[in-house]
Each structure stands twice: as structure tokens, then as C-alpha cells.
Structure 1
Amino acid sequence: MRVLFTFNIKEDQLRSLEMGFPNTEFSFTKNIEDVPLDSYEIIVTYGEDITPSVLDRAPSLKWIMVASAGVEKMPLDVIAEKGIIVSNVRGIHKTPMAESVLAHILSLGRALPTLREQQERKEWNMKVKQTELRGSTALILGPGAIGSEIGRLLNAFGVYTIGCNSSGDRAQFMDETIPFDQLKEVLPKADIVISILPSTQETKGMLDDSYFKLMKNTALFMNFGRGDLVKESTLVHALKHGEIGHAVLDVFEKEPLPAESELWELGNITISPHVSSHSGKYVERAMEFFTENLSKWQQNDRELLNLINLKKGY
């Protein structure tokens, strides 16, 4: 069996693979276009280099392991036509992203940016507006692996958590869970609105002006899922007209965020350049998913961890 990685791993990780799977050949490239793909049964990739032409050149390909949570940039319809299985590393981001979300919430609530500004001005001012989390309500759009971990951390601070997903099925660490069609009923109750939603046909542009008008004018809106959930113009209007109190954005409609974007100029926004999931342990965690699934694969078990529904896109 031949496996192609389109990114590099550490020497000790490669040695571990070779020891654990002695009958498997592992190859590596940074440019999939330069490699003959005829004999590879498995490709391990971040996803963006998988194109229809790559798939046409890989007649033996049966499984694509995506070392990322998002698969929306891949030609899923072509992959489905060819009967190729796709799995990802859903949940790999839950620790760093949940910690990032909590860090921003605590920083704003305890006025750390303001205190830092006062320090730079050498200003001793005890009249700083601060608040606390206990007794507040957080609405989490997409209470999956990441959203549930955020909920777990918020529960520890005494926050009431409401999960919102397409089905309304109960989610872990949510005090209650609602379907998307009940979102507008719940928005006025939320002190914090956090989106971890993937990019799907259902979620693209889902939050229009009408949703922000229903939020508390003190609400903290956080988008850590995908930037196409809400148009930039909608966010600018909500922030400039006081429909919400503050926004923390890690993802944007267009990335990198253009220098001419009005978002840069607003005082009630925190801009994070899509780094909330970054961690020195990322590849290590991705390899854990891969090795467990490779063991299943070699035993002809096709019920892999984190299989992607190619029709739904997640």
C-alpha cells in the first residue's frame, strides 16, 4: 500500500509510522502536481491541493485523509462520483480554539485592553468598566466538538449555554439546544453569540441584518467558524449603529482582510487573523487521527473516524 503526504511531518513521526505499518510505503511532496499518482491508495493533505485534475491522475485513490476540519474548497461532487472516502480531523481544533474564545471573552469582560491602553499612557484610573461571566447566557452556533468544548469551559464560569444546530438534537455541555429555525427567538436572550459553524449551503450568508437587530445592544458577537456566515457590510452596520456591543472576528468574508476594510477602523471590534486554532501540537494531533484510521483501513474497516458526508459537506 502506498500513501502520499502533501506536507512534511517530523522524523520521529515518520519513524513511528514506519514501525507501526511496516508494509506501507510513505512518500512526501509539497507539490502534488509534480508526482505521478497512479499507485497511491491514500493521500494525506490539507485539502486545497485536491483538484479534479489530481483526482483524474489518481485511479487507485480510495481514501483522502484531510488534516484540516474544513473541506469546502475540495471538489466534493467529483470525489463522490469516483467513490472516494474522505475523512478529516474534526475536533482537532477544540482545545486551542476554545481557549482562544475564552481568552477573548475574559479579556474584554475584565477590561484588559483598556488597562493596557492606560498603562501605555501611564494613567492610573480605577474607573474602568468591568463585568463578570457568572449568570450570563452564551448562544453557541455549531455546538459540535469545538462548540461543546467552549460550552464546557463556560459552564465552569457559571454561564448558561444554548446550542444551535440544524437538527436541534441535544449537544454536550449545552443547557439547551435549539434548531436553526428557532434562532431568532433566542437571540434577544444572549449576552454572547459565538459561531463555530462550517461553511455549507445552509450557513452561507445565514446571519443577515435582521439577526443583528435582535441581539442585545451590549452583546458580544464572535465568529470563529467561517467568514461567509455574515457579510462584512452587515457587520460594519451592526457595529457602527450600536446593534451589538463588540465583535471578535477570527474569520472574514475575504482573507486576508484588505487594508481598506472599514472593520480595521472601528473601535468596538477585535480582529484576529485566523489564528485561533494555531497550536504547536497540531500535526501531532492530526497524526493520531491518521494512525487510528490507517489501522482500521488495513483491517478493511471503512467506518473511519470523522467520515465526511460528501453531500452535506461536513
Structure 2
Amino acid sequence: MVTIRGATQRAARVAHQETRMEFRVLGCSGGLSRGGHTTAFSLGGHTLIDAGTGVGRLSIEEMQGLQRVFITHAHLDHVAGLAFLADTRFASGAPPLAVHARASVLRTLRKHLFNWQLWPDFMRLGPEAQPTLEPHRIHIGRSIALSEAVVTPLPARHTVPACGYAVETPRATLVYSGDTTACRDFWRALNRLPRLDHLVIEIAYGDEQEALGHAARHYTPAVLGEQLQRLRHRPCIHLMHHKPGRGEHIVAQCKQALAGWDYRHLEGDDRLML
């Protein structure tokens, strides 16, 4: 059983703050296309959740102002922007960027990306003998307190080690699934949250590609519709990660599969206030 440790208590510690935190979509596509960028979200302007090609929406000044990034898993569509973000921050002399991820994800990034072959090792290379990227191991269910929010890694089920994240502020709770398919522990973790206002969750393939969705560990509209019956909350659902060329099929199929739910399909630069 996964326990979310102290999230509610830590959220209460920042309840006196009146400012709201912006959740901005930098990229939410399941692949590259004209105008479409892969997964990356900005949280309050100082934190990223995933670092796909959507990072390219940020200005140099915004990149320099980042303090940390939370990675769900090591697939390229979620970390490609991290390579270029590190390069930009190194060139500008920015302080180390904290990279929060599961231990296996950090190992994959070190071995296969920041290895001096595919890209410089920015986990060691940096200005003034400091690394450009500073790795921090996360644990499922163990919360990380930020100044305006509490971030808690959640279980997920993908083809590689992965997680989602819950973001709790004094005014709202948002959960981002990352890449996943049906996962009993994910829904159990959501049901233990005191509230859930927004659920950002993926649908990569249409129902006609159910076998592919099962093999690749991605949702289809029908499978997500079935799994939502496990949820005791009634959040606004924000759908993302549609594979290029499948969007129209997914939109049409969601009308039936998600009937009765408050949902929308995310687009680049959408913003939510938490």
C-alpha cells in the first residue's frame, strides 16, 4: 500500500498564503508536429514537471529562473528538453537545477543521455565546480514541500519505471498521471487525497489501437472511461499526450467513453490557477 506521507499537513503550513500558483502547459502532445510539443509543464514559473520539447517555449530568462524539475520517467519525449535546458543554463552560469526523479530514472539519464557520448555530462559539468543538474532521488508517496505547494510522487504503470505527481496548494489539488495505463495503486492514491480539483491524464491512442495501447502501457478512451469508475472524486479532467494524427479519433471517442465527466483536451500554453 502506498501512503502519502504528511502531504495534507504540509499543505496546511502554507495555507496562509494568498497568492495562487500557475500551472502552465508548455507541451502536452504525444509526439512532434507543427505547433505540437512534447510533455512539459511549468509550475509557478520556478518548477518544471517533465521536460520534453515544450521547454522550448520558455525564454532564456525563464530557463535561468527555474529551480527544479520533477521527471516522471526517462522516455525521450519527457526529457529531451532537459538536455538543452542544461546547456542553456551552463552557458549562462545559472545555479544547479535540482532534478527530482526515481533512482532508476536518474541512472538511465546518467548512463544514456548525460554520458559525454550523446550529450555532455551536465550532472557533473557546471560553473564553479558545481553540477548544472543536481540529482535528487524521490520515493513514491514521500512528499516534497515547496514554498507554495506540496508535491507527492504517485504510482504509475508504464513500460519503464514511472510515476505521476500530486500538487497540493492551499486552494486546489492537481494530479498529473505521467504516462501510464490501468494502475490500481494510482487510483487508490488519488482516493486517499482529501480533495482533487484537476486530473491531468493521458490518452495516447484511439480505441481502434487498444492492443497497441496495452502493449505500450498507454490509455485509450474506453480504458480510461472504465478506470475512472474507481475514482471517488469528481475533478475536471484534462486530457493530453494524444499521438499526432490520432487526435480527431480520440476527441470523438471521448464523447462516449467520458460521458458525464467534466473534461477537456489540453493545448499548448493552457493555464490553470491552483
Q: TM-score range by the shorter chain?
A: 0.3 to 0.5
The structure, 1 or 2, with the larger RCO (C-alpha pairs under 8 Å, 6+ apart) is: 2
Question: TM-score, normalized by length of structure 2?
Answer: 0.36
Question: TM-score, normalized by length of structure 1?
Answer: 0.32
